[in-house]
Structure 1
Amino acid sequence: MSLLHPVNSSYYSNNLNSENNDLDLYEREILNQEYGLCPECNQPNTLDNWCKKCYSKKFQQNFGNWTSGNEHIDKFIQESQLNARNMYELLEWIPYNRLRNIKFLAQGGFSTVYDAIWLDEAIRKWNYEKQGWKRCTSNLDEQDYKDAINTKIKNPLKSDEKYGLRVVLKSLNDSSNVDDESLNEWKLYLQCQYKVRSSGSILVPLCGITRDPNTLNYIIVMLKMPFGSLRNNLLVSKYNPNDKFKILGTISAQLKAIHKLNLIHGDFHSGNVLGPFYHTMMISDFGLCRPVNQPCIKNQIYGVLPYMAPEVLRGKPYTKAADIYSFGIIMWEMTSGVPAFHNVPHGLNLSLNICKGKRPKIVEGTMSEYVELMKRCWDNDPEIRPTAKELHEILSKWFIKYPIETNEEKRIAVPENEPEIKNHPKSCYISRKFDSAKFNEILAKDELSNRVIIMDNDNYNDEIFISDNLDECLIKDNHT
């Protein structure tokens, strides 16, 4: 069963195949860069060494040489190849037997994630001399061959296989009969990929789709980011405080692009921001992404509790402003070095406290302008929160004023004696389904405050609430 929100197919097609006439000046400058002429048709390239017109013909000539076994997936991949204006919008059908060292990485709220090596690597350009696709090659290291002897590894690397691309596999459970609706997350992702690139940033590139021959589940193949998620790297930003301006500026550009397409992310948290990649980050996981005007199923809310806006917890429609609330929580995490509400139960009491205006305690010494912007982001009133565009404009100025330290010798390493972050045993940073109906019954008995109260995590008082048992307000969902 798919957990993806349905999307109007014509909405996707019209946006994917149009050039969007509402580009701002900066976006136009990015898109109007000259990338030379195609040596074959003598027309301007759409990216360095990339001619959409000629490349689409080359892909089309190869359509009869592969199949995923599913007409919807075949069509999705083929459309991406016909419409790709650059390598980041391109999908391929990847035979499962071309993947090596497949190992379990994590269980997400909506997917099972694996680590792997793709032997073929991604297409970069057409080699006119050899009349074939040129792919970037990366040398594998000694650890890859050591990993291959691990009994938990599937498709172990062979000794004569020297090159490969490190990828992440996101298994789509119960997807043997996947349909168009089930692919909406990835259709939206490709829309966002182009829009984000036109804003001078990039999302984690998709490589293609494969299929596990044993489970028959289809699998999305994505480029692996070298250092995990922002949540795993919060302490680095704590000790190198100027990092936060570039990181937040980058992800605000990505969020602005998503919102400009009239989409909402719907599951925005520091675990879904991947990197660092050259001291920047990329938004990932579009499992709950959907058009703004598309309603959620009644009384069904999904998310990670510390990042969920109070109006969403109360069952109101998810909006762009709810993504901004999540952004504000991430802003706080980058000053504290710890995940929000990491040392309290993520249950009914925390939900009620968030709706009452409780927020994490401001870290002493945080820049006053930063605090003001952060408080606007997490305000109880969605109308007071800034837009993604405003966030990007402010953070871009701060990034110039407070440049990141790129000299590795001058950067401050996280001290070896830094205390280990210990999460409360009832905390949970995986997206789950909430039952808003029961939650609203409790809220109706208690008048909520419009004030925002800064909460001291070290003195969290939950005695006045009914229960902190997750099962009372959260319904576990094991689908990916």
Structure 2
Amino acid sequence: MLDVCFDCKRPKTGDLCRKCISELLQPNWTSGNKYIDKFIQEAQLKANNSYEIIEWIPFNRLRNIEYLAHGGFSTIYKAIWLDGYINYGVKRHRNPLNYEDHKIAKEKDVKSPLNKNEKEGIRVALKSLKNSSNISDYFLNELKNHLQCMLSSNAAAVPMFGITQDPETSNYLIVMNLMNGGNLRSNLLIIKYNPLEKYEDLADIAYALLTLHKRNLVHGDFHSGNILCSSNVASINYISDFGLSRPVNQTINSNEIYGVIPYMAPEVLRGKPYTKAADIYSFGIIMWEFTSGIPTFNDRPHDFNLSLDICKGLRPEIVKGTLPVYARLMKRCWDSDPNKRPTADELNQIIFFWYNYYPKDFGNKIIAVPSEL
């Protein structure tokens, strides 16, 4: 028996009513680019649940745009989206805006400030890719792979609401849920972070990576700065930055090597194609970061000499107090031979076993942050 929409009484798919959805979506829209139009249209046609809907979001519906961070390929901003996303029950989800939101609107560095009569909206992140006014394979790759991971599991990739375009720069921006917890790297630097919560985070990350690999994708730039946390308490961890991710059988036609050197597998540093096993190597380095609370090799330049040493077998020193079973898995992940590294599926099985069958203080022991840090 088909589910029936509460409002229009017509059959619906999942939590979506196509008729009601069509009334909520902006009519006669265009991004001005046929590739982006096609991407959004196909995503809307395939959506079975509200969190799978991707929209064209007019830039003039964004307020309080503030700079957050800058990376090698992109710039991140935070903003308020006045309309809000389509939620269960086919309605727009918006939150009341507060005094602080209107106070921020008065700051000189804020673009498109809130008007006094605008009282509702949601906080979002905007990701602007360099030179995306000329649509590149890199930008489309980011969109497609991000959406694939969202379709596989809404707990793997940061929820993406849509795409917009800055009329001043003509750059396209991805509109995503704002992760209030920051990234994993910044959270691990907090000395009094609950150790057991760190362990639960590790399980989240392993699951997100498995989701990616089940889609036959590799990430290509997997490190703690690309893992975003929904909040500082009871956080869900999401993988971000899918620009370098791609199908396993597809290589980048370039002599350049992209990534953060301490997280890069030795075979990648030697110029070999990026594989799932290279993502696993990066996961092993993240495991070490959980035990130390600091980024790997942060005491030396990330240069050719470090790359050479990693290729010769240099790895982080095991932190005192790390349980042998944890250290063994970590070392397997960063083995010089990609064939000896565990798969994402095996990682999940092992961590799931630990989580369910070891004493509750197991996580406290394997990821305790040294007091001298």
Q: Same fold (TM over 0.5)?
A: yes
User: Normalization by structure 1: what TM-score?
Assistant: 0.70
Mark the runs of 5 or more structure 1 residues left unpaired by the alignment: 1-33, 127-132, 406-413, 420-480
Q: Which residue of 1 aligns with 2:101?
A: 144
> Displacement of 1:298 after TM fit?
4.2
Of 259, 265, 268, 2:213 maps to 259
Distance 1:273 1:289 in 2: 14
Q: Does 1:342 align with 2:298?
A: yes
Q: Which letter does structure 1 place at the counterpart of 2:352?
A: S
> Residue 62 of structure 2 aligns with which residue?
99
Q: Which 5+ residue runs of structure 2 have no aligned equivalent?
A: 363-368
How many residues align? The count is: 362
> Is the contact between residue 229 and residue 273 of structure 1 (CA under 8 Å) also seen in structure 2?
yes
Moved more, 347-356 or 394-403: 394-403
Give the Å deviation of 1:264. Answer: 0.3
User: Higher RCO, 1 or 2 (CA under 8 Å, sep at least 6)?
Assistant: 1
Give CA-to-partner distance per residue, 1:181-240, whole Å, 9 cap, x none: 74122112111112134xxx3321001111111111111111100111000100458742
1:282 match:
238
Give runs of aligned pairs for residues 41-440 of structure 1, distance below 5 A.
41-42=10-11, 45-46=13-14, 50-51=15-16, 54-55=17-18, 58-59=21-22, 64-126=27-89, 133-178=90-135, 182-197=139-154, 201-236=155-190, 239-277=193-231, 278-400=234-356, 401=358
> Could you say what secondary structure the match of 1:109 adopts?
coil
The one-character-per-residue Cα deviations of 1:292-322 (angstroms, maximum 9, x if unpaired) are 1112224221101110000000001110000
Alpha-carbon RMSD across the aligned residues, in angstroms, is 2.6
Q: 2:3 touches 2:11 (CA, 8 Å); kept in 1?
A: no
**What amino acid does structure 1 have at the position aligned with 2:222?**
F
Give the direction of change, closer, same or farther, for the CA distance of 1:180–1:84 in structure 2 (3 Å limit).
farther
CA displacement, residues 251-308 of structure 1 (integer Å, 9 cap, x when unaligned): 1111111111111000100000000443331111101010111122242211011100
Question: Matches of 1:98 and 1:62 in 2, distance apart?
Answer: 14
Instruction: Determine helix, strand or coil for the equivalent of 2:83.
Output: coil
Q: Which amino acid aligns with 2:323?
A: M
Secondary structure, in 3 states, of the residue corresponding to 1:361? Answer: coil
TM-score (norm 2): 0.89
The structure having more radius of gyration, on CA atoms, is 1
> Is the 1:263–1:292 contact (alpha carbons within 8 Å) kept by the matching residues of 2?
yes
Matched-pair identity in %: 56
* Preserved contact between residue 238 and residue 337 of structure 1 (Cα < 8 Å): no
Secondary structure of the residue aligned to 2:200 is helix
In 2, the alpha carbon distance for the partners of 1:254 and 1:234 equals 18
Deviation at 1:69, TM superposition (A): 1.6
Question: Which residue identity lines up with residue 79 of structure 1 in the other structure?
Answer: E
- Find the residue that maps to 2:41 and give its secondary structure: helix
Contact 2:139 2:243 in 1 (8 A): no
- Output aligned runs, 1:19-30, within 5 Å: none
Task: Flag the 1:57–1:161 CA change in 2: closer, same or farther, 3 A.
Answer: closer
Counterpart Cα distance in 1 of 2:273 and 2:122: 40
